[in-house]
Homo-oligomer: A and B are copies of this chain.
């Protein structure tokens, strides 16, 4: 029997001294970049251009890259007027500030597959973030399962990817089919696309969680960012 209080864990000691910065509205975790090896990310919705600009300025002041997600064109413009030097990716609704291209640290290709044209925005977010995080990224769009030959024709591409992100709304079955065709981890992203019994993405979410393909794991509805984050960590292994 081992007594916990007898081992003064070095990790915990270190934890005491982890850095953060108290601002009027936030306790910014400046250690996160070190800890996760990834730049700070700001979730755009519900924040004013001013609030976003403030965070961006702090990060840039510290010489750090920063990424704003789900930001519409108008807000991005306003932020860029306050803090120039960023780049806006409209379909992905991403605003990126960085010093040059992200160095490629991903060891293989992250392939972003999407089912229908309405899933493109979420797929673009996933692809954009994955690129910003230093992954070689490929995309394969509009290969929904009701015309399965379109997907089959790209099976080589599927098999060459190191990590796959599969984006689908409606019944969300694409990850199951893709999962059965590859021996790599598949990160499934349900989208809120659809109407009626799709219940804002719930049908797709449940379909992905109950996938008969065992190499599928799932992130939140429309969470292209999270999928790219997980894919990045996997791709750096």
Kindly list chain B residues whose C-beta atoms are within 8 Å of the C-beta of A225: 214
In whole angstroms, what is the CA distance A179 to B117 when docked? 19
Task: Give the oligomeric copy count.
Answer: 8
Kindly list chain B residues whose C-beta atoms are within 8 Å of the C-beta of A74: none
0 or 1 for each of A114-151: is its CB under 8 Å from B? (1 = yes): 01111010000000000000000000011111111110
Give the residue name and chain of the B residue nearest to A223 (CB). Answer: B196
Are B142 and A145 interface neighbours, CB within 8 A?
no
Are A22 and B35 interface neighbours, CB within 8 A?
no
Are A153 and B7 interface neighbours, CB within 8 A?
yes
Stretch from A79-87, A92-100, A168-176 forming part of the interface with B: A168-176
CB contacts under 8 Å to B, within A170-195, are 170-173, 176-177, 179-181, 183-185, 187, 190, 192-195
Which residue of B51, B206, B227 contacts A202 across the interface (Cβ within 8 Å)?
B206
CB contacts under 8 Å to B, within A46-62, are 46-47, 51
List residues of chain A with CB under 8 Å of any chain B CB.
1-5, 7-13, 15-23, 25-29, 31-32, 35-38, 41, 43, 45-47, 51, 107-108, 115-118, 120, 141-150, 152-156, 159, 162-163, 170-173, 176-177, 179-181, 183-185, 187, 190, 192-223, 225-227, 229-230, 233-235, 237
Known A25-B120, A206-B206, A237-B234: A180·B218 in contact at CB below 8 Å: no
Are B187 and A217 interface neighbours, CB within 8 A?
yes
Are B206 and A198 interface neighbours, CB within 8 A?
yes
Known A5-B17, A180-B148: A217·B195 in contact at CB below 8 Å: no
Interface of A is mostly: mixed
Kindly list chain B residues whose C-beta atoms are within 8 Å of the C-beta of A23: 1
Are A152 and B15 interface neighbours, CB within 8 A?
yes
Are A171 and B172 interface neighbours, CB within 8 A?
yes
Which residue of B31, B45, B115, B147 contacts A20 across the interface (Cβ within 8 Å)?
B147
Are A145 and B180 interface neighbours, CB within 8 A?
yes
Kindly list chain B residues whose C-beta atoms are within 8 Å of the C-beta of A163: 237
In whole angstroms, what is the CA distance A146 to B188 when docked? 14
